[in-house]
Structure 1
Protein backbone atom coordinates (compact mmCIF):
# COMPACT_ATOMS: atom_id res chain seq x y z
CA UNK A 1 0.00 0.00 0.00
CA UNK A 2 2.90 2.39 0.68
CA UNK A 3 3.86 2.31 -3.00
CA UNK A 4 0.31 3.21 -4.00
CA UNK A 5 0.17 6.14 -1.57
CA UNK A 6 3.21 7.74 -3.17
CA UNK A 7 1.44 7.69 -6.56
CA UNK A 8 -1.79 9.25 -5.33
CA UNK A 9 -2.57 12.97 -5.48
CA UNK A 10 -2.09 14.51 -2.03
CA UNK A 11 -5.80 14.69 -1.12
CA UNK A 12 -6.28 10.92 -1.36
CA UNK A 13 -3.25 9.68 0.58
CA UNK A 14 -5.09 9.72 3.91
CA UNK A 15 -8.47 8.52 2.64
CA UNK A 16 -9.60 5.64 4.83
CA UNK A 17 -11.10 3.67 1.95
CA UNK A 18 -7.64 3.55 0.35
CA UNK A 19 -5.72 3.03 3.60
CA UNK A 20 -8.10 0.14 4.23
CA UNK A 21 -7.92 -1.23 0.70
CA UNK A 22 -6.97 -4.82 0.00
CA UNK A 23 -3.72 -5.93 -1.60
CA UNK A 24 -4.98 -5.74 -5.17
CA UNK A 25 -4.53 -1.96 -5.14
CA UNK A 26 -0.86 -1.97 -4.06
CA UNK A 27 0.37 -1.87 -7.66
CA UNK A 28 -2.62 -0.03 -9.14
CA UNK A 29 -2.18 2.48 -11.94
CA UNK A 30 -3.45 5.95 -11.06
CA UNK A 31 -4.72 8.98 -12.97
CA UNK A 32 -6.39 12.15 -11.68
CA UNK A 33 -5.91 14.98 -9.25
CA UNK A 34 -7.31 16.34 -6.00
CA UNK A 35 -10.74 16.73 -7.61
CA UNK A 36 -11.02 13.11 -8.63
CA UNK A 37 -8.92 10.03 -9.08
CA UNK A 38 -9.27 6.73 -10.93
CA UNK A 39 -7.35 3.57 -10.00
CA UNK A 40 -6.92 0.43 -12.09
CA UNK A 41 -5.65 -2.82 -10.58
CA UNK A 42 -4.58 -5.50 -13.03
CA UNK A 43 -5.75 -9.11 -12.95
CA UNK A 44 -5.98 -12.03 -15.35
CA UNK A 45 -9.72 -11.36 -15.74
CA UNK A 46 -9.26 -7.69 -16.57
CA UNK A 47 -8.73 -4.63 -14.40
CA UNK A 48 -10.70 -3.60 -11.34
CA UNK A 49 -11.42 0.14 -11.53
CA UNK A 50 -12.12 2.39 -8.55
CA UNK A 51 -12.95 6.10 -8.61
CA UNK A 52 -13.02 8.71 -5.84
CA UNK A 53 -13.99 12.36 -5.79
CA UNK A 54 -16.25 14.69 -7.73
CA UNK A 55 -18.69 12.71 -9.85
CA UNK A 56 -18.16 14.89 -12.92
CA UNK A 57 -14.39 14.60 -12.65
CA UNK A 58 -14.55 10.82 -12.26
CA UNK A 59 -16.90 10.61 -15.24
CA UNK A 60 -14.49 12.68 -17.31
CA UNK A 61 -11.58 10.42 -16.33
CA UNK A 62 -13.57 7.38 -17.41
CA UNK A 63 -14.33 8.97 -20.77
CA UNK A 64 -10.71 9.95 -21.33
CA UNK A 65 -9.07 6.75 -20.12
CA UNK A 66 -11.65 4.09 -21.00
CA UNK A 67 -13.86 5.28 -23.85
CA UNK A 68 -10.74 6.21 -25.82
CA UNK A 69 -8.08 3.73 -24.61
CA UNK A 70 -5.08 4.97 -26.53
CA UNK A 71 -1.54 3.68 -26.02
CA UNK A 72 -0.43 4.61 -22.52
CA UNK A 73 -3.97 5.19 -21.23
CA UNK A 74 -4.99 3.82 -17.84
CA UNK A 75 -6.79 0.89 -19.41
CA UNK A 76 -3.92 0.14 -21.77
CA UNK A 77 -1.48 -0.01 -18.86
CA UNK A 78 -3.47 -2.84 -17.27
CA UNK A 79 -3.00 -5.02 -20.36
CA UNK A 80 -6.68 -4.94 -21.37
CA UNK A 81 -8.57 -2.41 -23.49
CA UNK A 82 -11.76 -4.39 -24.11
CA UNK A 83 -13.04 -5.47 -20.70
CA UNK A 84 -12.91 -4.96 -16.93
CA UNK A 85 -13.43 -7.18 -13.93
CA UNK A 86 -15.34 -4.58 -11.91
CA UNK A 87 -15.95 -0.83 -11.67
CA UNK A 88 -16.82 1.15 -8.54
CA UNK A 89 -17.40 4.90 -8.62
CA UNK A 90 -18.92 7.56 -6.35
CA UNK A 91 -22.71 7.31 -6.44
CA UNK A 92 -24.01 9.91 -8.89
CA UNK A 93 -21.28 9.22 -11.42
CA UNK A 94 -22.91 8.20 -14.70
CA UNK A 95 -20.52 6.16 -16.84
CA UNK A 96 -21.37 6.71 -20.50
CA UNK A 97 -22.81 3.91 -22.61
CA UNK A 98 -19.53 3.89 -24.49
CA UNK A 99 -17.55 3.34 -21.28
CA UNK A 100 -19.78 0.48 -20.13
CA UNK A 101 -19.67 -1.12 -23.57
CA UNK A 102 -15.88 -0.87 -23.66
CA UNK A 103 -15.64 -2.49 -20.24
CA UNK A 104 -18.43 -5.05 -20.90
CA UNK A 105 -20.10 -4.04 -17.65
CA UNK A 106 -23.63 -3.29 -16.46
CA UNK A 107 -25.06 -1.71 -13.27
CA UNK A 108 -24.81 -4.10 -10.34
CA UNK A 109 -25.44 -2.37 -7.00
CA UNK A 110 -25.42 0.81 -4.95
CA UNK A 111 -23.69 0.48 -1.61
CA UNK A 112 -22.01 2.39 1.18
CA UNK A 113 -18.61 1.99 2.84
CA UNK A 114 -18.64 2.61 6.62
CA UNK A 115 -15.95 2.62 9.29
CA UNK A 116 -15.69 2.83 13.09
CA UNK A 117 -12.68 3.51 15.28
CA UNK A 118 -14.11 3.14 18.80
CA UNK A 119 -16.14 0.58 20.71
CA UNK A 120 -19.48 1.89 22.02
CA UNK A 121 -19.21 2.83 25.69
CA UNK A 122 -22.09 0.54 26.64
CA UNK A 123 -20.76 -2.50 24.79
CA UNK A 124 -20.20 -5.72 26.71
CA UNK A 125 -18.90 -9.00 25.32
CA UNK A 126 -21.68 -11.35 24.22
CA UNK A 127 -20.93 -14.93 25.36
CA UNK A 128 -22.84 -16.34 22.39
CA UNK A 129 -20.10 -15.21 20.00
CA UNK A 130 -17.14 -17.57 19.61
CA UNK A 131 -13.97 -17.34 17.53
CA UNK A 132 -13.98 -19.91 14.73
CA UNK A 133 -11.13 -21.73 13.02
CA UNK A 134 -11.24 -20.69 9.35
CA UNK A 135 -9.92 -24.10 8.24
CA UNK A 136 -11.48 -26.52 10.70
CA UNK A 137 -14.84 -24.71 10.61
CA UNK A 138 -14.76 -23.84 6.89
CA UNK A 139 -17.50 -26.28 5.87
CA UNK A 140 -19.79 -25.17 8.69
CA UNK A 141 -19.20 -21.48 7.87
CA UNK A 142 -20.00 -22.08 4.20
CA UNK A 143 -23.13 -24.04 5.10
CA UNK A 144 -24.36 -21.16 7.25
CA UNK A 145 -23.58 -18.59 4.54
CA UNK A 146 -25.39 -20.64 1.91
CA UNK A 147 -28.61 -19.97 3.80
CA UNK A 148 -27.88 -16.78 5.71
CA UNK A 149 -26.03 -14.76 3.03
CA UNK A 150 -25.96 -16.64 -0.29
CA UNK A 151 -24.88 -13.58 -2.28
CA UNK A 152 -21.60 -13.02 -0.45
CA UNK A 153 -18.23 -13.70 -2.02
CA UNK A 154 -16.56 -13.99 1.42
CA UNK A 155 -14.92 -17.33 2.21
CA UNK A 156 -12.99 -18.42 5.31
CA UNK A 157 -10.09 -19.83 3.29
CA UNK A 158 -9.44 -16.74 1.17
CA UNK A 159 -5.93 -15.28 1.65
CA UNK A 160 -5.68 -12.38 4.07
CA UNK A 161 -8.45 -13.37 6.46
CA UNK A 162 -8.03 -11.87 9.94
CA UNK A 163 -10.57 -14.23 11.49
CA UNK A 164 -14.10 -15.60 11.58
CA UNK A 165 -16.67 -15.54 14.38
CA UNK A 166 -19.93 -17.37 14.88
CA UNK A 167 -22.94 -18.08 17.05
CA UNK A 168 -23.93 -21.71 17.45
CA UNK A 169 -27.42 -23.15 17.68
CA UNK A 170 -28.78 -26.61 18.20
CA UNK A 171 -28.06 -27.66 14.61
CA UNK A 172 -24.80 -25.80 14.00
CA UNK A 173 -23.88 -22.22 13.24
CA UNK A 174 -26.82 -19.82 13.06
CA UNK A 175 -24.73 -16.72 12.38
CA UNK A 176 -21.23 -15.95 11.11
CA UNK A 177 -19.02 -13.06 10.12
CA UNK A 178 -15.47 -12.73 8.86
CA UNK A 179 -12.90 -9.98 8.66
CA UNK A 180 -10.03 -9.48 6.24
CA UNK A 181 -6.78 -7.74 7.12
CA UNK A 182 -6.30 -4.50 5.19
CA UNK A 183 -3.66 -1.83 4.74
CA UNK A 184 -0.98 -1.13 7.30
CA UNK A 185 2.73 -0.59 6.75
CA UNK A 186 5.64 1.35 8.24
CA UNK A 187 4.19 3.82 10.73
CA UNK A 188 0.57 2.96 9.81
CA UNK A 189 -1.79 0.70 11.72
CA UNK A 190 -3.73 -1.88 9.69
CA UNK A 191 -7.50 -2.16 9.54
CA UNK A 192 -10.03 -4.99 9.36
CA UNK A 193 -12.83 -5.16 6.82
CA UNK A 194 -15.93 -6.99 8.01
CA UNK A 195 -17.56 -9.26 5.43
CA UNK A 196 -19.75 -12.33 5.07
CA UNK A 197 -22.14 -11.32 7.85
CA UNK A 198 -25.10 -13.69 7.80
CA UNK A 199 -27.76 -14.86 10.26
CA UNK A 200 -30.02 -17.79 9.47
CA UNK A 201 -33.74 -16.86 9.27
CA UNK A 202 -34.70 -18.79 12.39
CA UNK A 203 -32.18 -16.82 14.49
CA UNK A 204 -33.00 -13.33 13.24
CA UNK A 205 -34.44 -10.76 15.61
CA UNK A 206 -32.33 -11.98 18.52
CA UNK A 207 -29.43 -9.55 18.23
CA UNK A 208 -27.09 -12.11 16.64
CA UNK A 209 -25.95 -9.80 13.82
CA UNK A 210 -25.37 -6.94 16.25
CA UNK A 211 -23.38 -9.18 18.59
CA UNK A 212 -21.20 -10.50 15.76
CA UNK A 213 -20.50 -7.02 14.36
CA UNK A 214 -19.73 -5.52 17.76
CA UNK A 215 -17.36 -8.38 18.60
CA UNK A 216 -15.38 -7.97 15.38
CA UNK A 217 -15.16 -4.22 15.99
CA UNK A 218 -13.91 -4.74 19.55
CA UNK A 219 -11.47 -7.49 18.58
CA UNK A 220 -10.11 -5.52 15.64
CA UNK A 221 -9.41 -2.43 17.71
CA UNK A 222 -7.91 -4.56 20.48
CA UNK A 223 -5.60 -6.09 17.86
CA UNK A 224 -4.26 -2.63 17.01
CA UNK A 225 -6.40 -1.69 14.03
CA UNK A 226 -6.88 1.99 13.25
CA UNK A 227 -10.49 1.25 12.30
CA UNK A 228 -12.85 -1.51 11.21
CA UNK A 229 -14.79 -1.06 7.97
CA UNK A 230 -17.67 -2.74 6.17
CA UNK A 231 -19.81 -2.38 3.09
CA UNK A 232 -23.61 -2.49 2.96
CA UNK A 233 -26.23 -2.18 0.25
CA UNK A 234 -27.55 1.37 0.25
CA UNK A 235 -31.20 0.39 0.70
CA UNK A 236 -30.63 -1.83 3.75
CA UNK A 237 -31.90 0.65 6.31
CA UNK A 238 -32.34 -1.96 9.01
CA UNK A 239 -28.67 -2.88 8.87
CA UNK A 240 -27.69 0.79 8.68
CA UNK A 241 -29.43 1.44 11.97
CA UNK A 242 -27.52 -1.39 13.64
CA UNK A 243 -24.16 -0.22 12.30
CA UNK A 244 -24.74 3.41 13.22
CA UNK A 245 -25.68 2.45 16.78
CA UNK A 246 -22.31 0.69 16.98
CA UNK A 247 -20.51 3.84 15.83
CA UNK A 248 -19.99 3.13 12.13
CA UNK A 249 -20.16 6.19 9.89
CA UNK A 250 -20.48 6.42 6.12
CA UNK A 251 -17.24 7.30 4.36
CA UNK A 252 -18.24 6.57 0.77
CA UNK A 253 -21.46 6.26 -1.21
CA UNK A 254 -20.75 4.01 -4.17
CA UNK A 255 -22.19 2.49 -7.33
CA UNK A 256 -20.70 -0.68 -8.76
CA UNK A 257 -20.80 -2.19 -12.23
CA UNK A 258 -20.06 -5.83 -12.96
CA UNK A 259 -20.18 -8.32 -15.81
CA UNK A 260 -23.66 -8.84 -17.20
CA UNK A 261 -25.39 -11.60 -15.26
CA UNK A 262 -23.14 -11.33 -12.17
CA UNK A 263 -24.98 -12.51 -9.07
CA UNK A 264 -22.45 -11.43 -6.43
CA UNK A 265 -19.63 -8.89 -6.00
CA UNK A 266 -16.18 -9.75 -7.24
CA UNK A 267 -14.08 -11.19 -4.39
Structure 2
Protein backbone atom coordinates (compact mmCIF):
# COMPACT_ATOMS: atom_id res chain seq x y z
CA UNK A 1 0.00 0.00 0.00
CA UNK A 2 1.32 3.45 -0.93
CA UNK A 3 1.95 5.71 2.05
CA UNK A 4 -0.23 8.85 2.03
CA UNK A 5 1.42 12.22 1.54
CA UNK A 6 1.62 13.86 4.98
CA UNK A 7 2.52 17.44 5.80
CA UNK A 8 2.87 19.33 9.03
CA UNK A 9 0.62 22.32 9.73
CA UNK A 10 1.79 25.23 11.84
CA UNK A 11 -1.49 26.84 12.84
CA UNK A 12 -4.88 25.77 14.09
CA UNK A 13 -6.44 27.87 11.35
CA UNK A 14 -4.70 25.72 8.72
CA UNK A 15 -5.78 22.50 10.41
CA UNK A 16 -9.39 23.69 10.69
CA UNK A 17 -9.34 24.70 7.03
CA UNK A 18 -8.67 21.05 6.19
CA UNK A 19 -10.79 19.27 8.81
CA UNK A 20 -12.90 21.94 10.50
CA UNK A 21 -16.16 20.03 10.09
CA UNK A 22 -14.86 17.13 12.20
CA UNK A 23 -16.68 17.05 15.53
CA UNK A 24 -13.83 15.47 17.49
CA UNK A 25 -11.39 18.11 16.28
CA UNK A 26 -13.89 20.86 17.08
CA UNK A 27 -14.35 19.36 20.52
CA UNK A 28 -10.69 18.98 21.46
CA UNK A 29 -9.02 21.94 19.74
CA UNK A 30 -9.92 25.61 19.97
CA UNK A 31 -9.72 27.21 16.50
CA UNK A 32 -8.74 30.64 17.85
CA UNK A 33 -5.57 29.30 19.47
CA UNK A 34 -2.40 28.75 17.48
CA UNK A 35 -0.77 25.35 17.32
CA UNK A 36 2.33 27.07 18.65
CA UNK A 37 0.35 27.32 21.90
CA UNK A 38 -1.47 24.02 21.58
CA UNK A 39 1.17 21.80 20.03
CA UNK A 40 1.46 20.51 16.49
CA UNK A 41 -0.66 19.01 13.73
CA UNK A 42 -0.36 16.96 10.55
CA UNK A 43 -2.69 16.35 7.63
CA UNK A 44 -2.70 13.57 5.04
CA UNK A 45 -3.59 14.06 1.42
CA UNK A 46 -6.66 11.80 1.76
CA UNK A 47 -8.15 13.95 4.54
CA UNK A 48 -6.80 12.21 7.65
CA UNK A 49 -5.15 14.34 10.29
CA UNK A 50 -3.44 14.26 13.68
CA UNK A 51 -3.09 16.87 16.38
CA UNK A 52 -1.95 17.29 19.96
CA UNK A 53 -0.88 19.81 22.51
CA UNK A 54 1.19 20.17 25.64
CA UNK A 55 1.45 22.50 28.58
CA UNK A 56 5.23 21.93 28.54
CA UNK A 57 5.99 24.14 25.56
CA UNK A 58 5.64 24.66 21.81
CA UNK A 59 6.09 21.66 19.56
CA UNK A 60 5.52 19.12 22.31
CA UNK A 61 2.58 16.76 22.62
CA UNK A 62 1.17 15.14 25.75
CA UNK A 63 -1.70 13.38 23.98
CA UNK A 64 -1.81 12.63 20.26
CA UNK A 65 -5.19 12.24 18.54
CA UNK A 66 -5.30 10.70 15.06
CA UNK A 67 -8.35 10.73 12.76
CA UNK A 68 -8.85 8.96 9.44
CA UNK A 69 -9.13 5.47 8.04
CA UNK A 70 -7.17 2.90 10.08
CA UNK A 71 -4.56 2.69 7.28
CA UNK A 72 -4.07 6.45 7.06
CA UNK A 73 -4.13 6.75 10.86
CA UNK A 74 -1.31 4.23 11.11
CA UNK A 75 0.82 6.26 8.70
CA UNK A 76 0.00 9.52 10.49
CA UNK A 77 0.89 7.98 13.84
CA UNK A 78 4.27 6.76 12.57
CA UNK A 79 5.00 10.11 10.95
CA UNK A 80 4.04 12.09 14.04
CA UNK A 81 6.06 9.93 16.43
CA UNK A 82 9.13 10.17 14.21
CA UNK A 83 8.74 13.96 14.07
CA UNK A 84 8.26 14.69 17.76
CA UNK A 85 11.20 15.38 20.09
CA UNK A 86 9.69 13.03 22.68
CA UNK A 87 6.97 10.41 22.69
CA UNK A 88 3.56 11.58 23.93
CA UNK A 89 2.16 10.15 27.14
CA UNK A 90 -0.81 8.72 25.28
CA UNK A 91 -2.75 8.47 22.05
CA UNK A 92 -6.21 8.04 20.53
CA UNK A 93 -6.59 6.38 17.13
CA UNK A 94 -9.48 4.91 15.11
CA UNK A 95 -10.31 1.35 16.10
CA UNK A 96 -8.64 -1.04 13.69
CA UNK A 97 -5.39 0.96 13.49
CA UNK A 98 -2.43 -1.43 13.52
CA UNK A 99 -0.64 -0.96 16.87
CA UNK A 100 1.46 -4.16 17.08
CA UNK A 101 4.70 -2.20 16.67
CA UNK A 102 4.13 -0.08 19.79
CA UNK A 103 4.42 -0.81 23.49
CA UNK A 104 1.51 0.72 25.34
CA UNK A 105 -0.72 0.11 28.34
CA UNK A 106 -4.25 0.89 29.56
CA UNK A 107 -5.96 0.16 26.22
CA UNK A 108 -9.52 1.48 26.09
CA UNK A 109 -12.10 1.38 23.31
CA UNK A 110 -14.65 4.16 23.21
CA UNK A 111 -17.14 5.94 20.98
CA UNK A 112 -17.36 9.67 20.41
CA UNK A 113 -20.94 10.85 19.92
CA UNK A 114 -22.35 14.28 19.08
CA UNK A 115 -25.69 16.07 19.08
CA UNK A 116 -25.54 18.84 16.49
CA UNK A 117 -28.55 21.18 16.02
CA UNK A 118 -27.34 21.70 12.44
CA UNK A 119 -28.54 18.16 11.70
CA UNK A 120 -32.12 19.28 12.26
CA UNK A 121 -32.67 16.85 15.15
CA UNK A 122 -34.99 17.77 18.00
CA UNK A 123 -34.19 16.78 21.55
CA UNK A 124 -37.13 14.71 22.84
CA UNK A 125 -38.72 15.13 26.25
CA UNK A 126 -37.64 12.29 28.53
CA UNK A 127 -39.78 11.00 31.42
CA UNK A 128 -38.23 12.07 34.72
CA UNK A 129 -36.36 15.04 33.25
CA UNK A 130 -38.47 17.35 35.42
CA UNK A 131 -36.82 15.74 38.46
CA UNK A 132 -33.36 16.91 37.46
CA UNK A 133 -32.06 19.96 39.32
CA UNK A 134 -28.97 22.08 38.74
CA UNK A 135 -26.12 21.96 41.23
CA UNK A 136 -23.32 24.42 40.62
CA UNK A 137 -19.73 23.49 41.42
CA UNK A 138 -18.58 24.38 44.92
CA UNK A 139 -16.35 22.69 47.50
CA UNK A 140 -19.39 21.13 49.18
CA UNK A 141 -20.98 20.05 45.89
CA UNK A 142 -17.69 18.64 44.59
CA UNK A 143 -17.20 16.60 47.75
CA UNK A 144 -20.72 15.15 47.59
CA UNK A 145 -20.45 14.32 43.88
CA UNK A 146 -16.99 12.79 44.29
CA UNK A 147 -18.22 10.45 47.01
CA UNK A 148 -21.32 9.53 45.02
CA UNK A 149 -19.41 8.75 41.80
CA UNK A 150 -17.13 6.32 43.61
CA UNK A 151 -20.21 4.10 43.84
CA UNK A 152 -22.30 5.22 40.85
CA UNK A 153 -19.55 5.46 38.21
CA UNK A 154 -16.04 4.58 39.46
CA UNK A 155 -14.49 5.13 36.00
CA UNK A 156 -15.96 8.64 35.56
CA UNK A 157 -13.91 11.00 33.41
CA UNK A 158 -14.78 14.52 34.59
CA UNK A 159 -13.50 14.87 38.13
CA UNK A 160 -15.38 17.20 40.51
CA UNK A 161 -13.40 20.42 40.74
CA UNK A 162 -12.33 20.56 37.08
CA UNK A 163 -12.63 24.04 35.59
CA UNK A 164 -14.43 22.74 32.50
CA UNK A 165 -17.45 21.67 34.57
CA UNK A 166 -20.14 24.32 34.30
CA UNK A 167 -22.90 22.58 36.26
CA UNK A 168 -24.08 19.24 37.57
CA UNK A 169 -27.53 17.83 36.87
CA UNK A 170 -28.73 15.81 39.87
CA UNK A 171 -31.74 13.74 40.91
CA UNK A 172 -32.57 13.23 44.60
CA UNK A 173 -35.21 11.28 46.42
CA UNK A 174 -37.73 12.83 48.82
CA UNK A 175 -35.17 12.72 51.66
CA UNK A 176 -32.54 14.48 49.56
CA UNK A 177 -30.43 11.40 48.90
CA UNK A 178 -28.53 11.65 45.62
CA UNK A 179 -29.79 9.11 43.09
CA UNK A 180 -28.17 10.20 39.80
CA UNK A 181 -25.87 12.89 38.46
CA UNK A 182 -24.04 14.08 35.38
CA UNK A 183 -21.72 16.95 34.43
CA UNK A 184 -22.25 19.64 31.81
CA UNK A 185 -18.80 20.73 30.66
CA UNK A 186 -17.63 23.22 28.07
CA UNK A 187 -14.63 23.09 25.76
CA UNK A 188 -12.54 26.08 24.71
CA UNK A 189 -13.69 25.46 21.14
CA UNK A 190 -17.26 26.46 22.04
CA UNK A 191 -19.04 23.14 22.42
CA UNK A 192 -20.58 21.42 25.40
CA UNK A 193 -20.02 17.87 26.45
CA UNK A 194 -21.56 15.42 28.89
CA UNK A 195 -19.45 13.47 31.33
CA UNK A 196 -19.47 11.50 34.59
CA UNK A 197 -23.08 10.36 34.34
CA UNK A 198 -23.88 7.90 37.10
CA UNK A 199 -26.85 6.33 38.89
CA UNK A 200 -26.92 4.76 42.34
CA UNK A 201 -26.87 0.96 41.74
CA UNK A 202 -30.15 0.29 43.54
CA UNK A 203 -31.86 3.08 41.54
CA UNK A 204 -30.92 1.81 38.09
CA UNK A 205 -33.56 0.76 35.59
CA UNK A 206 -35.76 3.81 36.28
CA UNK A 207 -34.53 5.95 33.38
CA UNK A 208 -32.68 8.39 35.63
CA UNK A 209 -29.51 8.30 33.51
CA UNK A 210 -31.54 9.12 30.39
CA UNK A 211 -33.31 11.97 32.21
CA UNK A 212 -30.01 13.44 33.40
CA UNK A 213 -28.48 13.10 29.92
CA UNK A 214 -31.44 14.88 28.31
CA UNK A 215 -31.31 17.67 30.89
CA UNK A 216 -27.57 18.16 30.39
CA UNK A 217 -27.95 18.26 26.61
CA UNK A 218 -30.76 20.80 26.90
CA UNK A 219 -28.55 22.87 29.21
CA UNK A 220 -25.81 22.84 26.58
CA UNK A 221 -28.17 23.91 23.80
CA UNK A 222 -29.64 26.70 25.96
CA UNK A 223 -26.10 27.94 26.53
CA UNK A 224 -25.65 28.38 22.77
CA UNK A 225 -23.01 25.69 22.33
CA UNK A 226 -22.22 24.83 18.72
CA UNK A 227 -22.92 21.18 19.49
CA UNK A 228 -22.93 18.78 22.43
CA UNK A 229 -20.65 15.75 22.63
CA UNK A 230 -19.83 12.80 24.83
CA UNK A 231 -17.56 9.79 24.90
CA UNK A 232 -18.56 6.40 26.26
CA UNK A 233 -16.76 3.13 26.73
CA UNK A 234 -17.32 0.50 24.05
CA UNK A 235 -19.09 -1.86 24.11
CA UNK A 236 -21.95 -0.36 26.12
CA UNK A 237 -25.04 -0.92 24.06
CA UNK A 238 -27.55 0.22 26.72
CA UNK A 239 -25.78 3.60 26.99
CA UNK A 240 -25.49 3.92 23.23
CA UNK A 241 -29.22 3.33 22.84
CA UNK A 242 -29.99 6.03 25.41
CA UNK A 243 -27.83 8.59 23.63
CA UNK A 244 -29.14 7.60 20.19
CA UNK A 245 -32.68 8.03 21.49
CA UNK A 246 -31.77 11.62 22.40
CA UNK A 247 -30.42 12.28 18.90
CA UNK A 248 -26.70 11.71 19.41
CA UNK A 249 -24.77 10.11 16.55
CA UNK A 250 -21.55 8.11 16.74
CA UNK A 251 -19.01 10.05 14.68
CA UNK A 252 -15.80 8.24 15.73
CA UNK A 253 -14.98 4.76 16.97
CA UNK A 254 -11.70 5.08 18.84
CA UNK A 255 -9.06 3.25 20.82
CA UNK A 256 -6.72 4.91 23.33
CA UNK A 257 -3.70 3.92 25.36
CA UNK A 258 -0.62 5.17 27.16
CA UNK A 259 2.83 4.70 25.72
CA UNK A 260 5.30 2.89 27.92
CA UNK A 261 7.90 5.22 29.44
Structure 2 segments unaligned to the other structure (5+ residues): 1-9
Q: Indicate conservation of the 8 Å contact 1:156/1:164, yes or no.
A: no
Structure 1 segments unaligned to the other structure (5+ residues): 185-189, 261-267
Q: Alpha carbons of 1:166 and 1:122: their partners in 2 closer, same or farther (altered >3 Å)?
A: closer
- Offset, 1:175: 1.0
Matched, 1:29 2:40: yes
Matched, 1:7 2:17: no
What does residue 247 of structure 2 align with?
247
**From 57, 63, 69, the counterpart of 1:48:** 63
- Offset, 1:259: 5.3
What does residue 38 of structure 1 align with?
50
What does residue 114 of structure 1 align with?
113
What does residue 264 of structure 1 align with?
none
What does residue 168 of structure 1 align with?
172
Q: Indicate conservation of the 8 Å contact 2:109/2:255, yes or no.
A: yes
Q: Indicate conservation of the 8 Å contact 2:127/2:211, yes or no.
A: no
**From 138, 143, 152, the counterpart of 1:139:** 143
Take 2:114 and 2:191, find their aligned partners in 1: how far apart are those partners? 10
Q: Alpha carbons of 1:9 and 1:172: their partners in 2 closer, same or farther (altered >3 Å)?
A: closer
Q: Alpha carbons of 1:46 and 1:160: their partners in 2 closer, same or farther (altered >3 Å)?
A: same
TM-score in terms of structure 2 length: 0.82
Q: Indicate conservation of the 8 Å contact 2:143/2:160, yes or no.
A: no
What does residue 177 of structure 1 align with?
182
What does residue 76 of structure 2 align with?
61
What does residue 265 of structure 1 align with?
none
**From 20, 37, 49, the counterpart of 2:27:** 20
Q: Indicate conservation of the 8 Å contact 2:94/2:253, yes or no.
A: yes
157-166 or 120-129, which moves further after superposition?
Answer: 120-129
Take 1:4 and 1:21, find their aligned partners in 2: how far apart are those partners? 15
Q: Alpha carbons of 1:11 and 1:177: their partners in 2 closer, same or farther (altered >3 Å)?
A: same
Aligned length, in residue pairs: 237
TM-score in terms of structure 1 length: 0.80
Alignment of 1:140-155 (within 5 A): 140-155=144-159
- Offset, 1:121: 4.1
